[in-house]
A and B are shown apart, each in its own frame.
Chain A
């Protein structure tokens, strides 16, 4: 079995190529620095198995950022039988700088000129035969998004692995001992890339430059921020409106299944405690997590992925950089913030795209300030319960406001950090704005809806089911007349009320630490004293809350606390791994919690003034 590594600049379609080769679903996106961990996959070529490693995108192997270090270390260690250096055909000159460095490090290389279809559209012609002569290694043209050229690429890889291609004479240094030497080496690479590109690329027609024209609107002084807000609003509106029907459908199915299971349990004469633990505990919690949480997640995520594939996210970073710089942070933090909307743990890992350690820490510590996918459904539920009625558009508006509040608090917290624990000046910053690309809509929809569904179902099985059992036990083990759950809720009643909520909600937040999507189901189980009714629909959940004296005031405070409280356990573990320090992890836990507590207490007293 041979091992091959894919190396290349960020955003040259490495992940798409990886997927085309392996059929594995490495998440692709149109912004620099998407692959932050090593993704591995296998493929078959003429009966031989080939293992493929997708290295993080790097601008250079003379590394600085942690993700580039990963790429350099891998290539230096000589672990791969063959390296595939991936180039962007639309921007060959720049891609070649890295390719030349790869060639200097590992002579067993195949150069893959990707995005050929895009280059053709832009009126560029790449002479791959000439490129092959110039570089001295096999060159293959591909359009990975259509699967074009992948078989030829594998053929070339195999001939290199089998030693049928004469190797380059020797390795060359990619950096010098001193700054001057390194400079001279870097300059040589650039000049050589320029020379090779000028020989191999021909511009035969004036291609259309849609990107520039679109940027004129999307990055404009007046329309830039407006479009950003409208896009956000649109995504939220589609999520809320679209999640309604599948949610009801799922609910209906779970109700029927619950009845069947219950009558089955009766027929088998299960003892009451067993029926309770299985159906009211495990089944009800899992059903709630799936029915209420799954549809919004399965809609939001693909929509967001489409924006990402289109290339919009770096533009957000560009538009927002000014604000982040004022807070002593990095503009790329907007990108990690966007990743955090999907999952905070992923957002924290994504912070590796930030070069400066200080700014990276700021981004890590504040990532949980943006609500992740696990929190969205609960936010949507609370908003429609108390503020928007049935109007999806109004709901989307309120949700957008919530997100703006999140971003404002992220900036505030970043500013606080860079004036206290992480003092320093904003460092230098280069952001690449890739050209817009037409997202592969069908593929994105199918892939990310399926992935999200599997993810939620997996989490439901791994976290919701056991949590359901534990909570049911807590709700049904009695000490001195009250259940443990109600006892705990009573203890927390005072602090809960101080925060503008109540003891049961605070308890639900505490017990929901493993996963934010558990908070609402736990709350329901606490309020119904453990006699769950199966998976309640949103209307039933609303009914239970209102019976317990719930008003818009509690909704508002709970909403704020949902936005700002401790990160879930997964995120905390990721932060521990990324920072390698208990101190920073603890701060990451305390910072959003402190913000949430202060905001909720202020809100609580402000609300007292309103009759």
Chain B
């Protein structure tokens, strides 16, 4: 099912479809290897609910919801 990254629940996995953003943030995410087809797993959110932790290519990243909203993903069943 296609959705955006911020809707991923803890433990859920998805594959990146597109990065709907430009400029510095887009470059930064590409550096971390977030390209189309990359598998990403949600590890859970911070006590305040934002930012949220994800695991990509063996790295643990924290992303704010305002950013993860702009990342389209395809959830894995």
Give residues in A with beta carbon < 8 Å to B.
59-60, 62, 64, 90-91, 93-94, 97-98, 179, 182-183, 186-187, 190-191, 193-194, 211-212, 219-222, 224-225, 318-319, 321-323, 325, 331, 355, 426-435
Q: Contact: A94 with B62, CB < 8 Å?
A: no
A-B pairs with CB below 8 Å: how many?
121
Q: Contact: A429 with B64, CB < 8 Å?
A: yes
List B contacts of A428 (CB < 8 A). 21, 24-25, 28, 64, 66-67
Q: Contact: B57 with A91, CB < 8 Å?
A: yes
Please name 4 further chain A to chain B contacts, defined as beta carbons within 8 Å, in addition to the given A94-B33, A433-B62, sorted by A numbering: A428-B24, A429-B51, A432-B61, A433-B53
State A212–B59 Cα separation when bound (angstroms): 12
Which B residues between 1 and 52 are near A, CB-CB below 8 angstroms? 21-22, 24-33, 35-36, 38, 43-44, 46-51
Q: Contact: A321 with B62, CB < 8 Å?
A: yes
Q: Contact: A94 with B32, CB < 8 Å?
A: yes
Q: Contact: B47 with A219, CB < 8 Å?
A: yes
State A299–B29 Cα separation when bound (angstroms): 39
State A426–B63 Cα separation when bound (angstroms): 13
Q: Contact: B57 with A322, CB < 8 Å?
A: no
Given the known inter-chain contacts A94-B58, A321-B64, please indicate yes or no for A179 contacting B28, CB distance below 8 A.
no
Q: Contact: A224 with B47, CB < 8 Å?
A: yes
> Considering residues A225, A323, A432, which has the most beta carbons from chain B within 10 angstroms of its beta carbon?
A432
- Report A216 CB to chain B, min CB distance, Å: 8
- Report A110 CB to chain B, min CB distance, Å: 22
Give residues in B with beta carbon < 8 Å to A.
21-22, 24-33, 35-36, 38, 43-44, 46-51, 53, 57-64, 66-67
Given the known inter-chain contacts A94-B59, A190-B35, A429-B67, please indicate yes or no for A322 contacting B28, CB distance below 8 A.
no
Instruction: Give 7 pairs: A residue, B residue, CB < 8 Å, sorted on A.
Output: A62-B27, A64-B24, A90-B58, A91-B58, A190-B35, A322-B46, A428-B21
State A434–B32 Cα separation when bound (angstroms): 13
Within 8 Å by CB of A431, from B33, B36, B62, lies B62
Q: Contact: A431 with B27, CB < 8 Å?
A: no
Q: Contact: B46 with A321, CB < 8 Å?
A: yes
Q: Contact: B51 with A355, CB < 8 Å?
A: no
State A434–B31 Cα separation when bound (angstroms): 16
Q: Contact: B32 with A430, CB < 8 Å?
A: yes
State A435–B61 Cα separation when bound (angstroms): 11
The SS class assigned to the A binding surface is: helix
State A426–B30 Cα separation when bound (angstroms): 21
- Report A430 CB to chain B, min CB distance, Å: 5
State A162–B20 Cα separation when bound (angstroms): 47
Q: Contact: A59 with B31, CB < 8 Å?
A: yes
Within 8 Å by CB of B33, from A93, A221, A325, A435, lies A93
Q: Contact: B33 with A190, CB < 8 Å?
A: yes
List A contacts of B32 (CB < 8 A). 59, 94, 430, 432
Within 8 Å by CB of B59, from A60, A91, A182, A183, lies A91
Given the known inter-chain contacts A186-B30, A430-B32, please indicate yes or no for A93 contacting B58, CB distance below 8 A.
yes
List A contacts of B26 (CB < 8 A). 183
Smallest CB gap from A212: residue in B: B43
Smallest CB gap from A225: residue in B: B47
Q: Contact: B24 with A430, CB < 8 Å?
A: no
Q: Contact: A321 with B59, CB < 8 Å?
A: no
Q: Contact: B59 with A432, CB < 8 Å?
A: yes
Within 8 Å by CB of B57, from A93, A98, A321, lies A93
Given the known inter-chain contacts A430-B61, A430-B63, please indicate yes or no for A319 contacting B31, CB distance below 8 A.
no
> Considering residues B31, B46, B57, B67, which has the most beta carbons from chain A within 10 angstroms of its beta carbon?
B31
Q: Contact: A431 with B61, CB < 8 Å?
A: yes
- Report B22 CB to chain A, min CB distance, Å: 7
Within 8 Å by CB of A322, from B44, B50, B63, lies B50
State A430–B31 Cα separation when bound (angstroms): 11
State A41–B45 Cα separation when bound (angstroms): 42
State A519–B24 Cα separation when bound (angstroms): 44
Q: Contact: B30 with A183, CB < 8 Å?
A: yes
State A187–B64 Cα separation when bound (angstroms): 23
State A93–B62 Cα separation when bound (angstroms): 19
Q: Contact: A62 with B62, CB < 8 Å?
A: no
Q: Contact: A355 with B61, CB < 8 Å?
A: no
List B contacts of A427 (CB < 8 A). 24-25
List A contacts of B59 (CB < 8 A). 91, 94, 432
Smallest CB gap from B56: residue in A: A94
Smallest CB gap from B34: residue in A: A190
Q: Contact: A194 with B33, CB < 8 Å?
A: yes
List B contacts of A98 (CB < 8 A). 31
Q: Contact: B27 with A60, CB < 8 Å?
A: yes
Smallest CB gap from A179: residue in B: B22
List B contacts of A432 (CB < 8 A). 32, 59-62
Q: Contact: B29 with A319, CB < 8 Å?
A: no
List B contacts of A59 (CB < 8 A). 28, 31-32
State A40–B19 Cα separation when bound (angstroms): 39
State A435–B59 Cα separation when bound (angstroms): 9
Q: Contact: A430 with B50, CB < 8 Å?
A: no
State A212–B53 Cα separation when bound (angstroms): 11
List B contacts of A182 (CB < 8 A). 27
- Report B56 CB to chain A, min CB distance, Å: 8
List B contacts of A64 (CB < 8 A). 24, 27-28
List A contacts of B44 (CB < 8 A). 219
- Report A210 CB to chain B, min CB distance, Å: 13
- Report B34 CB to chain A, min CB distance, Å: 8
List B contacts of A191 (CB < 8 A). 35
Smallest CB gap from A428: residue in B: B25
- Report A490 CB to chain B, min CB distance, Å: 51
List B contacts of A426 (CB < 8 A). 64, 66
Q: Contact: A325 with B31, CB < 8 Å?
A: no
Within 8 Å by CB of A219, from B36, B46, B50, lies B46
List A contacts of B62 (CB < 8 A). 318, 321, 331, 429-433
Q: Contact: B58 with A220, CB < 8 Å?
A: no
List B contacts of A224 (CB < 8 A). 46-47
- Report A560 CB to chain B, min CB distance, Å: 28
